Amino acid sequence: MCRLPRLRRLLASALLPALLGAAPLHAQHFELPDLSSSADAVMTQGAETRLGKAFMQQVRERLPVLDDPLLASYIESLGRSLVLADPDAEGRRFTFFLIDEPVVNAFAGPGGYIGVYAGLVLAAQTESELAAVIAHEIAHVTQRHLMRGVEDQSRLSVPATALLVAAAILGAQVSSDAGMAAIVGIQAAAIQHQINFTRENEKEADRIGISTLVRAGHDPYAMAGFFERLSRAGQIHDSAAPEFLRTHPVTSNRIAEALQRAEYFGARQRPDSLRFHLTRARLRERAYDRAEQAVAHFGATLREGRYRDALAERYGYALALLRARDYGSAERELARLLAAQPSQPEFVVLEAELAQRRGRPGEALKRLTQSLSLSPNDWVLGTVRARLLLEQGRARRALDALEDLARLRPDDVMLYDLLEQAALKSGNRAATHRYRAERLYLLGDLEPAIRQLEIALRQRDIPYHDAAQIQARLDALREEERDRRERDDPLG
């Protein structure tokens, strides 16, 4: 059933002796496939999609992917605006997500999965700087730089290739004790040269990224400015240089070329969105281990006027006060926020959560319901409302609301996690196994997902319509499993 461990051992036995006696990887010269080759000759879109799902499974196992709806919504919105501005991205699927670590970096994985570390969002001084890095990563995807780099791994199964790609990409950014097995690290080192972006790749991603920035209305000088600032920081703190400099080597020539490209377009100043500042404040508040530390920080910056945006700083202060259970002070800060921006989603959510904490569940739901009546497809408000319903013990209503949201966002792991909880608490065992199956499937665990659907069908008193849907989904996953075995089993 599982030949991947055996495959790892075979690879390790072949690679370990060579690696132990090899020169450092950075001193070797490696050839990438011919860039003029057909993209589909490297890897078909379907195969890349499967590899992307398997890659994302590895990412979720190894890194703390943020499932905060407000934070996820912002990074998705910014990423989507850049995708719409890039003509090469038309017809491609992208998934943007945040990682809850103070690392100053971002990466593009197969299948259009683009991860952005919280540390990068906090390091960016303007929204255009953050957009510059994301546009750069989008260009890596559209130009299929990564896929050309893993062409030689096409002889391996998709799960094995995904494991090696994840180890190589993530191993360059996180410590060696981040959950990677030692043998995987060795294998990843062997293919690091194949998936590293070459200087030409980086230049191409910069060039296309700057054009995308301009079409999206951002400052074209942001890319060069951010790179230069990171480079100076790396020189000052050489022992702790930003991870971005290691995975995206920045040279003076590269900065000069980015500046030259920006001069072609000319300066286009753009004010940062309020959501950019609110997102940074929310991330900064989360970064403190103890609520008292966050309260002290935001209290000091507000007193001393050390902030980029007053509303965002006050929002961070209110979040810290809420976490510290100083509800009275939090309500006073919230009142100022709502007076300035009464319909801002971040403030509406904060108001509802504060009402819930203060023992006013009806008021919490009423506020969210009012906002949803104006924006019925706002998945963030809908998700928060469903979560509050669950906390109030109203699992059946939460389940109904979440099922509606899942139709809008069928690939949202967080929603299926909530659906599983709601079904379990409402006593619907068939739905519990059904939604657990969908969550497992999205995480890349196909066989366990099939087992959960089989268990769901064995439950008693399943309505005919639900049973038919579960059976149809089970048939589809079984067919996918058969196809995957035929495609991916390298041993026949």
SS3 410: coil
Instruction: Reduce the DSSP state of residue 164 to 3 states and report it.
Output: helix
d(CA 197, CA 35): 12
* Chain-centroid distance, C-alpha 113: 7
Sequence letter at residue 245: L
In whole angstroms, what is the distance from residue 382 CA to residue 206 CA?
38
- Cα 190 to Cα 19, 107, 258: the distances in Å are 7, 19, 32
In the sheet that holds 106-109, the strands lie side by side as: 95-99, 113-117, 106-109
Give alpha helix (H) positions in 143-290: 145-149, 158-171, 182-195, 199-215, 222-236, 243-247, 252-265, 274-287
Q: Which amino acid is at 463?
A: P
Mark residue 218 as left, alpha or beta (left: phi above 0; alpha: psi -120 to 50; beta: remaining): beta
List C-alpha distances in Å: 267 to 178, 220, 253.
Answer: 41, 7, 20
Q: How far apart are CA 95 and CA 384, in angstroms?
A: 21
User: Is residue 136 part of an annotated ligand binding site?
Assistant: yes
Handedness of CA 390, 394, 397, 403 (dihedral sign): positive
Instruction: State the Cα–Cα distance between residues 294 and 317, nearest whole angstrom.
Output: 7
444: left (phi over 0), alpha (psi -120 to 50) or beta: left
Indicate the pairing of strand 106-109 with strand 95-99. Answer: unpaired
Residue 311 to residue 451: CA distance in whole angstroms: 49
Please give the Cα distance from 122 to 117 (Å, whole number). 9
Does an H or E element contain 115, and which?
strand 113-117
The verdict on whether residue 202 carries a ligand-binding annotation is yes
453 touches 422 (CB < 8 A): no
Question: Can you tell me the distance from the alpha carbon of 131 to that of 209, in angstroms, rounded to the nearest whole number?
Answer: 9
Q: Hey, what are 486's tokens?
A: 């035929």
CA atoms within 13 A on the CB side of 381: 23
| φ and ψ of 227, to 5 deg | -60, -45
Residues with active-site annotation: 137, 206
Say how far apart CA 153 and CA 487 lie, in whole Å.
14
Terminal CA-CA length for the chain: 12
Give the annotated binding-site residues for Zn(2+): 136, 140, 202
